[in-house]
């Protein structure tokens, strides 16, 4: 009643879909007026769990031409909505023009024959009795490829069930086609959910209604060839959990944003969902396939391993909307391959084994690891259908860990852990492990214990955080590794294992309590503490991103994907920079806490790259003290202009509000507050352009400029165009190239400063004459450090570190430095100091600002993770082998299956002309003796051959020697 008293003009939007006949756990309410007051009333109501905006989901289909994908991946053609959960199959490449000669490879006609589905068909396993839901663009009623379409439903309100785009038809064909391009489970019952309009638009509420209906229809397998970056779309995420809790096996594509890291899409990044990546028929990770890690856990933690598995997603043949076949590529192709494989498996194993956890364990444990690919590219490896079938047939409820072990020395699979050893006083190395609970839909983590292996294991300290409740079917375990002081001079391998005790209710029906203790082997390399000049600190704490607020991309040209959602982590979009620094001997540690919680005296330099958040006053004081004590500061900033922020806003049809960026590419006003103690400030104009610096081709992508700088510092300028003016005036990029060149100005972009405060020139002094205070390097653009940048500036970062850590100014920068009389930017180009935008909502997402807009909140206390008690053990040699891999199943051992010729390039491919199983059963027993006899005959033949060759050589040798003597005598 309280809602009716406060708000009068509101309407519940009626449902016009099949779910209207069933009860629902949500409603869509249309508010005519008093929006803020109404929302507050709804949030305060005791019967309302959560209030969120109705979200439009715009999904566009774009082709993938994998051979032309550039280093940054295959980008979408056209603008992608900030709420997008895009269909993951067809995309345009970002770059073109690259050609190379490649080995020709045979692409098999049937994807089913590659994965040996025909072997299971011969056993009568065809998907019969399994209900598969396809959430896509619909399906034509009388398509000739399908025989068991049990239901077609429309959730869009267009009163159409047909597929005008062809994507839904293709996906359904990969799963259950009966003709031409065969699907995996031809006898499965298809339930077609049309959740996209012909314009490729959908809404969250449509999905929620369709998900509820799928639960009512008792769907077994649900394929989602969709995805988006918004893992904070709570109604969607919560409903996916509910589907899993109701034993619906969810399969989803991880996205086509590769080869960039940190580009996983939701819901594939959820623990209960089987996230699928794509590979080609050469068993290499497809360029378009998104990479891990998950980014939910940042900045305080570390991401989980995803995808779960990979399978063929490039050049796969499937049903065409016209009735024939077509080939498509994308992770939305790989996803139905796995969904169809699961439907096939499910029809041939006991029904009680079909839980989301059991199926996920079967696929992941039996997956075949691909060489050369790391765990954030391939997950557990490539789908092995036959081994998964054998695993599920013999399945006993169990719990498992993903990954099954942590080996910080194993390259390439355990990248990035294997690239940097542990040492005393370093920031914690965090590994996030997923607990897959096959014992029941819900359970508890009862205990976690650490057992170091003698003699060196006790040097490693382990702390653990975990989800006490496992639901649905899964949970997480975050382990933090640090080296104790006793290992400060140690150089070697340390080992141990963590025991995780799980308690869960049995799913068999007798409600019994089952316990399981899982062992997670641990191995790490420990080295002596590196020198301070080799240790770098990366600020992750002040990085903000989408989802949440509208945080724009650093490059204003990126209109196709305007949101900054790649996490700005050294193992995601800054991965290439991280690898370059490691190659040059630097140790890079990630700071996930305020600066006040870090001992800065251990580090040579602090890297502030593209920060979006504000700074605590306590951090600024700590920064001043740290720099005075020798810590250098390296800043790579980005654009910020309050007027430009309002210009790049867009109107959200869902909330009927304008979305204005919470900050620019970087929070320049906050950086200026931090740098003001050194009389350094960045300006509010936005520049872009190509130039040469130190012999390197550079591109300045939407960067800021240096507004003021001390006279004794070093400034480097470049001739750039005013991109902010172009955007504000509506000019098209490149339309007035001559005018742009005419209006180009010399812009200070790089500044180097010795912070001792004296007016001396330290650029050519020796190290022992340098002051103890640290140095400052400021550059106005960070885009060139990101992965996929057309012209990377990693060399510039290395040169900046050379100056920051050793006081030596490289010749490339010294020669490019501006003359002394031009070093004050205010005398070169007119500009203002950037001001914080009015009406912004940065406080709603900030870790520093108070939610009530009262300013910075008090700096948080520095929490120290409690270490697990060390219970040292003398590990037997067998325990030192980390988690042996599940042996692949030889298809010839499947009883009753015919011997088939497969096209999969594997060492265990079938051979033979297809003789029946009965004919082969008899000679199977004497196979081993025959093999020994043949080996013995081969050895005898080789010995006889060697004897004959030796005899011939001796005989011919005598004749040759005689002829030579006779010629000498004559």
Tokens 């869509």: give the residue: 28
Q: Put the strands of the sheet holding 587-591 in their side by side order.
A: 587-591, 535-539, 605-609, 632-636, 775-779, 745-754, 714-722, 687-693, 696-703
CA distance 121 to 114: 14
DSSP helix/strand/coil, 873:
strand
Whether 468 is catalytic: no
CA distance 575 to 568: 9
Catalytic choice (82, 143, 167, 451): 167
Contact of 481 with 460, CB cutoff 8 Å: yes
**CA dihedral sign, ordered 954, 956, 957, 963:** positive
Catalytic choice (81, 136, 220, 542): 136
Q: How far is CA 189 from the centre of its chain?
A: 33
Q: Tally the C-alpha atoms within 13 A of residue 656's C-alpha that lie toward its C-beta.
A: 7
**CA dihedral sign, ordered 124, 128, 132, 136:** positive
What are the backbone angles phi and psi of residue 474, rounded to the nearest 5°?
-160, 165
Count of Cβ atoms closer than 10 Å to residue 881 Cβ: 9
The DSSP H or E segment spanning 5 is: helix 2-6
CA distance 73 to 786: 13
Contact of 239 with 208, CB cutoff 8 Å: yes
**DSSP bridge partners of 279:** 285, 312
Contact of 322 with 478, CB cutoff 8 Å: no
Q: How far is CA 104 from CA 93, 120, 226, 282, 904, in A?
A: 21, 30, 31, 10, 15
CA distance 955 to 948: 11
End-to-end CA distance of the chain: 130
Of the candidates 271, 291, 174, the residue with the CA atom closest to the CA atom of residue 225: 174
**DSSP bridge partners of 496:** 452, 522
Q: How far is CA 949 from CA 171, 938, 952, 956, 963, in A?
A: 63, 17, 5, 11, 21
Whether 332 is catalytic: yes
**DSSP bridge partners of 657:** 652
Catalytic choice (332, 463, 782, 831): 332
CA distance 332 to 135: 11
What are the backbone angles phi and psi of residue 24, rounded to the nearest 5°?
-130, 155
Q: Tell me the two tokens of residue 539.
A: 């600020």
Q: Cα 171–173–174 angle (5° rounding)?
A: 70
Whether 584 is catalytic: no
Q: How far is CA 95 from CA 68, 76, 98, 173, 313, in A?
A: 7, 11, 8, 31, 21
List the catalytic residues: 136, 167, 332
């Amino acid at each position: 009643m309280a809602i009716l008293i406060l708000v009068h003009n509101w309407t519940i939007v009626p449902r016009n879909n099949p779910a209207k006949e069933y009860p629902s756990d949500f409603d869509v309410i249309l508010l005519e007026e008093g929006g803020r007051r109404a929302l507050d009333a709804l949030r305060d109501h005791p019967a309302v769990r959560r209030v969120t905006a109705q979200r439009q989901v715009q999904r566009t289909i774009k082709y993938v031409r994998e051979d032309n994908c550039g280093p940054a991946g295959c980008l979408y053609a056209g603008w992608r909505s900030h709420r997008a959960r895009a269909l993951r199959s067809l995309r345009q490449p970002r770059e073109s023009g690259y050609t190379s000669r490649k080995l020709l490879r045979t692409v098999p006609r049937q994807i089913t024959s590659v994965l040996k589905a025909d072997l299971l068909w011969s056993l009568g396993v065809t998907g019969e009795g399994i209900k598969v839901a396809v959430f896509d663009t619909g399906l034509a009623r009388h398509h000739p490829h399908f025989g068991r379409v049990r239901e077609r439903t429309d959730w869009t309100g267009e009163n159409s069930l047909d597929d005008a785009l062809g994507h839904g038809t293709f996906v359904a064909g990969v799963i259950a086609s009966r003709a031409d391009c065969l699907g995996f489970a031809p006898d499965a019952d298809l339930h077609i959910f049309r959740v996209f309009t012909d314009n490729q638009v959908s809404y969250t509420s449509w999905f929620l209604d369709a998900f509820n209906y799928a639960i009512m229809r008792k769907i077994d397998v649900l394929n989602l060839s969709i995805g988006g970056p918004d893992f904070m779309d709570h109604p969607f995420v919560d409903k996916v959990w509910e589907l899993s809790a109701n034993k619906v096996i969810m399969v989803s594509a991880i996205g086509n944003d590769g080869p960039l890291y940190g580009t996983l899409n939701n819901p594939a990044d959820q623990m209960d969902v089987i996230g699928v990546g794509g590979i080609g028929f050469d068993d290499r990770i497809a360029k378009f396939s998104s990479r891990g890690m998950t980014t939910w856990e940042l900045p305080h933690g570390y991401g989980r391993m995803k995808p779960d598995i990979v399978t063929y997603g490039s050049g796969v043949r499937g049903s065409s909307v016209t009735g024939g076949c077509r080939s498509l590529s994308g992770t939305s192709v790989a996803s139905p391959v796995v969904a169809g494989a699961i439907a096939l498996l499910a029809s041939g194993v006991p029904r009680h084994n079909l839980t989301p956890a059991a199926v996920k364990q079967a696929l992941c444990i039996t997956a075949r690891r691909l060489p050369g690919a790391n765990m954030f590219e391939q997950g557990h490896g490539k789908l092995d259908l036959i081994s998964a079938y054998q695993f599920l047939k013999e399945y006993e409820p169990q719990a498992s860990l993903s990954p099954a072990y942590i080996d910080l020395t194993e390259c390439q699979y355990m990248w990035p852990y294997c690239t940097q050893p542990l040492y005393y006083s370093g920031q914690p190395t965090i590994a996030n492990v997923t607990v897959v609970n096959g014992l029941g839909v819900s359970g508890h983590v009862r205990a976690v214990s650490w057992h170091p292996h003698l003699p060196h294991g006790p040097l490693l300290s382990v702390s653990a955080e975990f989800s006490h409740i496992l639901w649905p079917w899964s949970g997480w375990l975050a382990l933090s590794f640090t080296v104790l002081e006793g290992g400060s001079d140690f150089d070697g391998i340390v080992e141990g294992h963590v025991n995780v005790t799980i308690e869960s209710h049995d799913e068999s029906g007798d409600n019994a309590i089952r316990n399981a203790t899982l062992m997670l082997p641990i191995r790490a390399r420990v080295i002596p503490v590196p020198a301070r000049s080799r240790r770098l600190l990366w600020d992750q704490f002040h990085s903000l991103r989408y989802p949440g607020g509208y945080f724009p991309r650093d490059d204003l040209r990126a209109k196709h994907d305007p949101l900054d959602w790649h996490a700005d982590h050294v193992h995601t979009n800054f991965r290439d920079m991280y690898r370059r620094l490691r190659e040059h001997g630097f140790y890079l540690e990630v700071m996930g806490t305020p600066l006040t919680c870090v001992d800065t005296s251990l580090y040579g330099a602090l890297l502030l790259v593209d920060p979006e958040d504000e700074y605590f006053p306590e951090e600024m004081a700590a920064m001043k003290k740290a720099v005075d004590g020798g810590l250098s500061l390296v800043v790579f900033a980005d654009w910020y202009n309050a007027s430009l922020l309002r210009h790049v806003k867009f109107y959200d049809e869902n909330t009927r509000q304008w979305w204005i960026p919470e900050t620019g590419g970087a929070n320049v006003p906050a950086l200026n507050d931090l740098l003001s103690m050194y009389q350094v400030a960045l300006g509010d104009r936005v520049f872009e352009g190509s130039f040469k610096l130190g012999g390197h081709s550079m591109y300045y992508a939407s960067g800021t400029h240096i507004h003021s700088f001390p006279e004794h510092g070093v400034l480097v300028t470049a001739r750039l165009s005013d991109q902010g003016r172009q955007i504000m005036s509506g000019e098209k990029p490149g339309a007035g190239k001559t005018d742009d060149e005419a209006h180009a100005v010399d812009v200070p972009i790089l500044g180097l400063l010795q912070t001792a405060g004296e007016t001396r020139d330290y650029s050519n002094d020796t190290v022992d004459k340098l002051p103890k205070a640290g140095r400052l390097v400021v550059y106005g653009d960070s885009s060139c450090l990101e992965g996929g940048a057309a012209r990377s500036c990693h060399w510039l970062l290395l040169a900046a570190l050379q100056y920051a850590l050793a006081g030596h100014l490289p010749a490339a920068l010294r020669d490019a430095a501006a003359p002394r009389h031009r070093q004050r930017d205010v005398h070169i180009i007119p500009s203002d100091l950037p001001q914080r935008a009015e009406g912004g909502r940065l406080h709603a997402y900030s870790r520093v600002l108070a939610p009530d807009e009262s300013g910075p909140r008090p700096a948080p206390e520095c929490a120290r993770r409690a270490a697990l008690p060390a219970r040292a053990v003398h590990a037997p040699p067998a325990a030192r082998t980390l988690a042996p891999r599940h042996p692949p199943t030889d298809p010839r051992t499947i009883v009753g299956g015919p011997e088939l010729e497969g096209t999969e390039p594997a060492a265990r491919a079938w051979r033979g002309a297809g003789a029946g199983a009965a004919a082969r059963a008899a000679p199977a027993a004497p196979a081993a003796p025959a093999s020994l006899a043949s080996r013995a005959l081969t050895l005898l033949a080789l010995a006889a051959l060697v004897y004959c060759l030796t005899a011939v050589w001796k005989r011919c040798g005598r004749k040759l020697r005689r002829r030579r003597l006779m010629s000498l005598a004559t």
